[in-house]
Structure 1
Amino acid sequence: LVVLDGARRLRDVPGMVQVLTQGPGVRVFGLCVDERERLLPEECTAVVVAEGNRLSVRSSGVPKVEDVRADLVDAAWCEEV
């Protein structure tokens, strides 16, 4: 798993487009995070957008799923894990 926090900027790193496009074929996946959906790399095949405590999920070739309830675990739990 390759996490790109600030994905728009990190997409310009040499070789990153190849990681995003060819990585899944060798079980290397990208998790792209950015402030706005429009800033995500075009190679993203699934997108989750948070709106309050609800999510919408969009994936290539599948209808968009809206009003998904987020787990909303607290920061302490995340740090422990």
Structure 2
Amino acid sequence: MSSVMVCKCRINPNWVMKIAFWDAFGASRFVSNNVRQKVRQARIHNKIIDKNYPESKDEKIKINRSFYNNCLRELKHEN
């Protein structure tokens, strides 16, 4: 059985650190929400293709690592 060591620590950031934390958390939240939205849209697209055009499997969007990389690349290019 494996054991896990835990260490709690408390930080008291100054105002510059707080602003940096808020910027970092805001950017990660922005990326996460946008990628989640693109995945949701791809799944809806795939359900529509399955329901209306079951013979055309080529038009389905594959949600894999390259899909996520392309999403991140598009976000980086847009912003």
Higher relative contact order (CA 8 A, sep 6+): 2
| Larger-Rg structure | 2
Normalising by structure 1, we get a TM-score of: 0.19
Larger helix share, 1 or 2? 2
- The structure with the greater share of residues assigned to strand is 1
What TM-score does the superposition give when structure 2 sets the normalisation length? 0.20
